[in-house]
Amino acid sequence: MDASVTTLYAALVGNPNCGKTALFNQLTGSRQKVANYAGVTVERKEGRLVTPGGHPVRLLDLPGAYSLQATSPDEDVTRAVCLGEHSSEPRPQLLICVADATNLRLHLRFVLEIRQLGVPMILVLNMMDEAERRGMTIDIKGLAHELGVPVIPAISVRTGGAARVLEALDAPLPAPPPPLPEGADAHVEVRRILAAFVSSEDLREATLADRLDHWFLHPVIGPLILLIVLFVMFQTVFSWAQPIMDSLESGVAHLGVLVGSLLPDSMLRSLLVDGVIAGAGTVIVYLPQILILFLWILALEESGYLPRAAFLLDRIMAAAGLSGRSFIPLLSSFACAIPGIMAARTIQNPRDRLVTILVAPLMTCSARLPVYTLLIGAFIPQRTVLGVLGLQGLVLFGLYAVAILSGLIVARVMTRGTASAEHPLLLELPAYRVPSLRNLAMGLWQRATIFLSRVGTIIVTLNVLLWALSSFPAPPAGTTGAAIDWSLAGRIGHWMQPVFAPIGFNWQICVSLIPGLAAREVAVSALATVYALGATGDDAAGQLTPLLSAQWSLATALSLLAWYVYAPQCLSTLAVIRRETNSWKFVAGTATYLFALAYGAAFVTYHVARLLGGG
Amino acid sequence: MYLNTLPRGETAIIDRVEPQGVSDPIMKRLVELGFVSGEPVQVIAIGPMGGNPIAVRIGSTRFALRREEAARVHLRGAS
């Protein structure tokens, strides 16, 4: 066969934090496809490239691994593909093993393990600039001769830093490397090779990492810095995103009006305007917030700070039966549970990952805020407590605190008894790096497209379904009152009422809960619809406030607040749980436990409030 | 002496990593990460709550690990 026309199938393999993904981005540019490996939610990245000599290459970016003795689903994929045992992936013709030149003591052991496989391979020594900066010299030729594989220096964070890797792909496939003699100890080999070909770096001088770690991991200063980082992060997620979200919101509203004016008054118009456009709108409006959040997480991840945060918070998470690794997904869930649940992929322990996904909906997402604001504004007096604290702010803080505490307790209960096998923290604290704009942009782009294409389609579908429930059957001609009252959703609301009477909900609340399933904040405009205000959005809240405080008891309002702390009032979240766990069982379980908690909390709140005179 | 009792800032040489139980995946992983006989290890930080977990450095690689995990690493030069 003519080698110039057949596509080479190669895979990048290496330790976590070896700069593998940056190299992958350099080599393939935007020609990447991101999906999952069959049956597991391990991210599969494949890209295409053409070498300078015109050879097409399909390149797979395998998940980072410390060893072929896999301890996580990620490592298991890498093991199976490298060994040619994966059910749906062919064995690569060439393994491109990537190692951090400044961390060879750790990375070379895995290189030797890969070398034992007897597959053609090349070794890419990444981050050569940093190695030189530290005064290390590496005998590349000697190392290549010793290992029996081509060794190529690279600087994956610099444009053109992967040029020599591309050239190497033009060369004919190297012969499979010779295996180590039987019974050789890899660690002894690593030490021997390092002594022979690598001048050891000067460790006497405190490195940047030492100095930064002194403060970032400090028992007192460290948590303070973390608090500041989190505070700034949340500030930007909420304040930077707000103007963009506002303009998107009005843009979506304008589009709805425009489409509405172009079409005659018909079911089709209602479907397009109230179902599709409004549904897609709820997704798109949250996109700026989600993107800013993702940008933060990517930047903190790339900079090497995230594992430090996990180190600082491990004890709190351990009290809930989890580990520091669960911190980021739960943190993200405060903006929106959807990216939070997606971020749980970074947790290696399957039990921790599952529990994190299941408690993520308890973290107070930003969609609850419009509901909280409406109810607090209508029912909690603007009083100051202890001279300085606003009562309304205190109630809001209390709602957040109760949610966090509940999340920790639920996690504790879920992990109880299952912790028979010790699950370790054992987390590498990688070198600090300035995040590269290119990697941030590509990461952001990939996450945004995943969010829009997969999650978005589910959300729009559900919105159309809820639109149908709220629109059919239409009220008979000449009737007054809310149209939703005649619809299936309205009828379901009335049927639900006896069930919700013990927690103080009237039928209007029950009806608004149904469209509120699409997205929590929709409940506000749904309430406006039920009370036949004919207003939508921000407007609705303004008109609703006096109406609600006149019609509802304080006990009912507090009960609804308690309900919203827990209730899985978001079908999109449940859809993502289905996608990430591959199981309807966990979706049903999550919905059941959250509804049970919501009902219980609302019941207690309602009756305690009535006893105290709030009825 | 084991790594879980090494004070912050101190360096010691690893003697061996001992398994807990018959098959100990954590011990295997520690060895794969470079916790092997003869390597110097330094405690660079201790956690803010109760001093757990700890952060250690081997060569230029840093790891965060819980004291329970560190208790498998036996250090040289002490009983």
For residue A83, the model assigns a pLDDT of 94
* Res. A218 pLDDT band, cuts 50 70 90: very high
Q: How far is A19 from chain B (nearest CA, A)?
A: 15
Contact B32, A67 (CB under 8 A): yes
* Res. A533 pLDDT band, cuts 50 70 90: low
Residues of A in contact with B46 (CB under 8 A): 219
In sequence order, what are the beta bridge partners of B56? B43, B63
Q: Are strands A121-126 and A151-153 parallel, antiparallel or unpaired?
A: parallel
Q: Quick check: A120 pLDDT over 80? A: yes
Residues of B in contact with A306 (CB under 8 A): none
Stretch A535-559: mean pLDDT: 76
Q: How far is B17 from chain A (nearest CA, A)?
A: 14
Would you call B66 and A314 a contact, using CB atoms and an 8 Å cutoff?
yes
Any B CB within 8 A of A373 CB: no
Q: Which two tokens stand for residue A570?
A: 């978001």
Q: Could you report the per-residue pLDDT of A388-447, keeping only the tens digit for each?
A: 777 888 888 889 889 989 999 999 998 886 655 666 788 899 988 888 888 899 888 887
Tell which A residues from 96 to 115 touch B, by Cβ distance under 8 Å.
102-103, 105-106, 109
Contact A391, A383 (CB under 8 A): yes
Residues of B in contact with A69 (CB under 8 A): 28-29, 32
Any B CB within 8 A of A217 CB: yes
Residue of B nearest to A211 (CA): B44
Q: How far is B49 from chain A (nearest CA, A)?
A: 7
Residue of A nearest to B46 (CA): A219
Residue of A nearest to B23 (CA): A421
Region of poorest pLDDT, from A78-82, A334-338, A362-366: A334-338
For residue B79, the model assigns a pLDDT of 44
How much is the pTM? 0.80
Q: Quick check: A174 pLDDT over 60? A: yes
For residue A41, the model assigns a pLDDT of 67
**How many contiguous H segments (helices) and E segments (strands) does chain B have?**
2, 5
Q: Quick check: A482 pLDDT over 70? A: no
Would you call B45 and A324 a contact, using CB atoms and an 8 Å cutoff?
no
Q: Quick check: B30 pLDDT over 90? A: yes
Which residue among B29, B34, B62 sits closest to A71, beta carbon to beta carbon? B29
Residues of B in contact with A218 (CB under 8 A): 45
Residues of A in contact with B29 (CB under 8 A): 66-67, 69, 71, 424, 426
Q: Which two tokens stand for residue A75?
A: 């490592």
The more confident residue out of A281 and A374 is: A374
Contact A324, A314 (CB under 8 A): yes
For residue A457, the model assigns a pLDDT of 72
With both helix axes pointing from N to C terminus, report the angle between A241-262 and A278-303 in degrees, rounded to the nearest 10: 160
Residue of A nearest to B37 (CA): A187
Residues of A in contact with B41 (CB under 8 A): none
Residue of B nearest to A15 (CA): B33
* Res. A199 pLDDT band, cuts 50 70 90: confident
A455 burial level (CB within 10 Å; 0-12, 13-18, 19+): buried
The more confident residue out of A452 and B42 is: B42
Would you call A67 and B25 a contact, using CB atoms and an 8 Å cutoff?
no
CB within 8 Å of A160: residues ≥ 6 apart: none
Radius of gyration of chain A (CA): 28
Q: Distance (Å, rounded) from C-alpha A538 to C-alpha A518?
A: 18
Residue of A nearest to B63 (CA): A428
In sequence order, what are the beta bridge partners of A384? A390
A235 burial level (CB within 10 Å; 0-12, 13-18, 19+): exposed
Phi then psi dihedrals of residue B42, to 5 deg: -125, 135
Would you call B63 and A71 a contact, using CB atoms and an 8 Å cutoff?
no
Interface of B with A (CB under 8 A): 20, 25-26, 28-34, 36, 38, 44-53, 55, 58-66, 68-69
Q: Quick check: B62 pLDDT over 90? A: yes
- Residues A177, A182, A186, A189, CA torsion sign: negative
Residues of A in contact with B59 (CB under 8 A): 103, 105-106, 203
In sequence order, what are the beta bridge partners of B8? none
Which residue among A102, A210, A426 sits closest to B63, beta carbon to beta carbon? A426
For residue A459, the model assigns a pLDDT of 67
Please, what is the average pLDDT of chain A? 84
Any B CB within 8 A of A116 CB: no
Q: Quick check: A5 pLDDT over 70? A: no
For residue B42, the model assigns a pLDDT of 94
Of A374, A366, A377, the residue nearest A245 (C-alpha):
A366
What's the ipTM? 0.94
